[in-house]
Amino acid sequence: MTTPYDRVALIGLGLIASSMSHAIRRAGMTTHITGTARSAETRRIAAEIGICDEVYATAAEAVRDADLIVLAVPVGVMGAVAAEIGPHLKPGAVVTDVGSVKKAVIEAVSPHMPDGVHFVPGHPLAGTEHSGPYSGFASLFDNRWTLIVPPQGTNPGEVARLSDFWRQLGANVDQMEPDHHDLVLAVTSHAPHLIAYTMVGVADDLSRVTDSEVVKYSAAGFRDFTRIAASDPTMWRDVFLTNKTATLEILGRFTEELFALQRAIRVGDGDLLFDYFTHTRAIRRGIIEAGQDTAAPNFGRVGTPEIPDDST
Amino acid sequence: MTTPYDRVALIGLGLIASSMSHAIRRAGMTTHITGTARSAETRRIAAEIGICDEVYATAAEAVRDADLIVLAVPVGVMGAVAAEIGPHLKPGAVVTDVGSVKKAVIEAVSPHMPDGVHFVPGHPLAGTEHSGPYSGFASLFDNRWTLIVPPQGTNPGEVARLSDFWRQLGANVDQMEPDHHDLVLAVTSHAPHLIAYTMVGVADDLSRVTDSEVVKYSAAGFRDFTRIAASDPTMWRDVFLTNKTATLEILGRFTEELFALQRAIRVGDGDLLFDYFTHTRAIRRGIIEAGQDTAAPNFGRVGTPEIPDDST
């Protein structure tokens, strides 16, 4: 097992950074890991559970001598963190990030990178609804995609090295253009998250359906929305504010389509509904065949047996 | 272990009926199970895998001598099935159903019930995105709610007997008024399903984001929508057409709220977004505390370790 970077600095010690630490250890890399977080409590926990060899109070200290610096903070503060660490980066260092938006991050971070430092943006498509240093685990990235999104002119050797690093953490790796990344993620992640947040908010707001009933009878459908809508508020606020154009475009398409289906319900057009639902079911099969989810019953939750994926 | 009904007839042999059969066997009931399905292939499979002691070509034959008849067909054909079996029901028999809509089912089925037969509607809040006789498993109802929704004047002793039967299949049991049931389910299940169908349809429709990309990068958010949107098309068409008023009302509330969040994104109101997302996260905690889902990472999918639900 090679060790692509001798010293890694994790800036921000939440779900992604702590999972990276666990995955680095699991891979058997001899990497020295430093880290920092804004909250003293998070730093204390990170030191206590050992996700960093050394925890520092400031990003400037944490990045000193680091070969790879991972910006694992909300997208909205990437620029400020980059400005803080810029003067302290060693020549030849690689800076990457794990933000869910790429164009805004590249615009915010790039101006602060000194000559001789390589900025290679990335985005691991993995997560849970949990956050904080306790929430990480080594297998988070296994068989998931990490997208490397290099701006024009990025050193190809450094793209290859970062890709190799992510593969050793368990991920599949692809490259993508920043604009295209932000559109694809608006479809597959950002719009769905806003929709889930909205539906959960509506449910809670209905006075005729008490909180306890919504919670109690959440088994079908709504339960999955609440999981998505439990994701980190700061992270998601920043995602929507920084991927505004693509998210609003997709949401516009969504409401247009929703109105068409609402109209079909109102006028009783069962054929339209049936055809629509048959088509979306086929997309699901594609995802299972692509290995991005399980066909196990009850959505693959623990405690239910495997069954054949035969739906006749 | 008591056996509330000596002879049970399952009309329709999909996910719910086949799971009921497995759960009846698991409970150690000595119940004799008959069944029928519209499709000859489904009947053949049901006989082959033994979910019925006897499989009949018609519902009229299947219900003969049955003490409990379970209507496990799409909501839109409940009335036709009730008309078919009405003349063949034995005096004192109990007819129940497992439909996701209750007011329309009561209106469609009740007129066909002869004197001396008890119609006690029910709705198990459990399911997967799979369908057909292969898809059932004994633990589907474990720790989930089954709602008994008796029309006014229903014999209380028969409500109690059916409730006892469902408890033996693993479910928790509650009673609810038909109108209220249909509103609660519009919030917790019907509207979320239509929204998920819509989002998956939109994703598929975008020519700039190819199918393969949507499938490949589905890990965050969208993947959960595709699971919901893979549910049985016939069943869901009928749900929307028969719970039209409540579903359209909730969808109206949903779009109103979605527009407010879209506006917040457009004008950059980060505080509104942050407060909204913080609130929805709290609802999620309520669901976990109510025992209706797991706090395990990666949404509790098989293959990931348990972690503390501490999200700081």
- ∠ CA A13-A18-A24, nearest 5°, is 130
Number of CB pairs < 8 Å for A and B?
Answer: 423
Tell me the β-bridge partners of A94.
A68, A118
In a mutational test of the B interface, the residue from A15, A41, A287 whose CB has the highest number of chain B CBs within 10 Å is A287
A2, pLDDT greater than 90: no
User: Judging by DSSP bridges, how do beta strands B145-148 and B122-124 pair with one another?
Assistant: antiparallel
Question: What residues in A contact B174, CB-CB < 8 Å?
Answer: 216
The reported pLDDT for the residue numbered A305 is 33
For residue B166 the two structure tokens come to 């469902």
| A57 near B CB under 8 A | no
pLDDT at A295 over 50: yes
Name residue A198's amino acid: T
Element (H, E) at A96: strand A94-97
Residue B281 is predicted with a pLDDT of 86
- Residue B13 CB partners (closer than 8 Å, separation 6+): B35, B36, B37, B42, B43, B45, B46, B51, B52, B55, B72, B133
What φ, ψ does residue B6 adopt, rounded to 5°? -70, -40
d(CA B83, CA A195): 41
User: A191-205 and A233-242 helices cross at what angle (nearest 10)?
Assistant: 120
Of B240, B290, B296, the CB nearest to A265: B240
Segment B39-49 mean pLDDT: 96
| pLDDT for residue B231 is more than 90 | no
Average pLDDT over residues B27-36: 97
What are the contacts of B156-161 at 24+ separation with CB within 8 A? B158/B94, B158/B118, B158/B120, B159/B120, B161/B4, B161/B5, B161/B94
Is residue B175 within 8 angstroms of chain A, CB to CB? Answer: no
Chain A positions in Cβ-Cβ contact with residue B279 (cut-off 8 Å): 201, 204
Low-confidence winner among A4-13, A25-34, A194-203, B251-260 (lowest mean pLDDT): A194-203
CA B188 to CA A167: how far, in whole Å? Answer: 39
Residue type, A206: L
Question: Residue A15, SS3?
Answer: helix
Name the CATH superfamily for A7-176. NAD(P)-binding Rossmann-like Domain (3.40.50.720)
Closest approach of chain B CAs to the CA of A173, in angstroms? 11
Supply the pLDDT for residue A308: 33
Q: What is the ipTM of this complex?
A: 0.85
Predicted confidence (pLDDT) at residue B251 exceeds the cutoff of 90: yes
Reference B232, options B99, B124, B138, B132; nearest CA is B132
Whether B115 contacts B155, CB under 8 Å: no
| A42–chain B Cβ distance below 8 A for any pair | yes
> What number of other Cβ atoms are within 10 A of residue A303's Cβ?
11
B267 CB near a chain A CB, below 8 Å? no
Burial class (CB in 10 A: 0-12, 13-18, 19+), A138: buried
A:203-262 residues touching chain B, CB 8 A cutoff:
203-206, 208-209, 211-234, 236-238, 240-241, 244, 247-248, 250-251, 253-255, 257-259, 261-262
Tell whether B276 is within 8 A of chain A (Cβ).
yes
Residue A147 and residue A181 in contact, taking contact as beta carbons nearer than 8 Å: yes
- pLDDT tier, A130 (very low <50, low <70, confident <90, very high otherwise): confident
Helix axes A244-267, A270-289, angle to 10 degrees: 140
Q: Dump pLDDT digits (tens) for A94-116.
A: 999 999 999 999 999 999 999 99
DSSP-derived pairing of the beta strands B94-97 and B68-71: parallel
CATH 1.10.3660.10 for the A180-268 domain, yes or no: yes
Phi, psi values for residue B52, rounded to 5°: -125, 150
Has residue A301 got a pLDDT over 60? no
3-state helix, strand, coil in chain A (%, to 5): 55, 10, 35
For residue B81, give both structure tokens.
């099935």
Q: In sequence order, what are the beta bridge partners of A73?
A: none
Contact check, Cβ <8 Å, A258/B139: no
Q: How far is A176 from chain B (nearest CA, A)?
A: 11
pLDDT of the residue at B291:
64
pLDDT, tens only, B73-98: 999 999 999 999 999 999 999 999 99
Among the partner-chain residues B209, B265, B303, the one whose CB lies closest to the CB of A244 is: B265
Residue in this structure with the two tokens 């079996």, named with its chain if needed: B85
Give the Cα separation of B11 and B3 in Å (integer): 20
Residue B68 has pLDDT above 80, yes or no: yes
Dmax over CA atoms of chain A, in Å, equals 67
A126 in Cβ contact with A141 (< 8 Å): yes
Q: How far apart are CA B45 and CA B32, in angstroms?
A: 18
- Which tens digit of pLDDT belongs to each residue from A56-90? 999 999 999 999 999 999 999 999 999 999 999 99
pLDDT of residue A1: 63
Q: What is the pLDDT of residue B210?
A: 63
Residue-level pLDDT at B306: 32
Strand order in the sheet with B32-36: B54-56, B32-36, B7-11, B68-71, B94-97, B118-119
Contact A125 B220 (CB under 8 A): yes
**Amino acid identity, residue B47?**
A
- Identify the closest residue of chain A to B299 by CA–CA distance: A128
Burial of A76 (0-12, 13-18, 19+ CB in 10 A): buried
Chain A CB contacts of B227 below 8 Å: 224, 284, 293, 299
For residue B67, pLDDT over 60 is answered with yes
End-to-end CA distance of chain B: 46
CB atoms within 10 A of CB B115: 5
Least confident of A186-195, A217-226, A245-254, B257-266: A217-226
**φ/ψ (deg, to 5) at A172:** -85, 150
**What is the spatial distance between Cα A195 and Cα A49, in angstroms, rounded to a whole number?**
36
Which chain A residues contact residue B188 at CB under 8 A? 203, 214, 217-222
Helix B191-205 vs helix B244-267: angle between axes, to the nearest 10 degrees?
60
Q: What is the pLDDT of residue B305?
A: 33
Reduced to 3 states (helix: H, G, I; strand: E, B; else coil), residue B189 is helix
pLDDT at A65: 97
- Which ranges in A206-243 belong to alpha helices (H)? 211-216, 222-228, 233-242
The full set of domain ranges for chain A reads 7-176, 180-268
Question: Cα–Cα distance between A204 and A214 in angstroms, integer?
Answer: 8
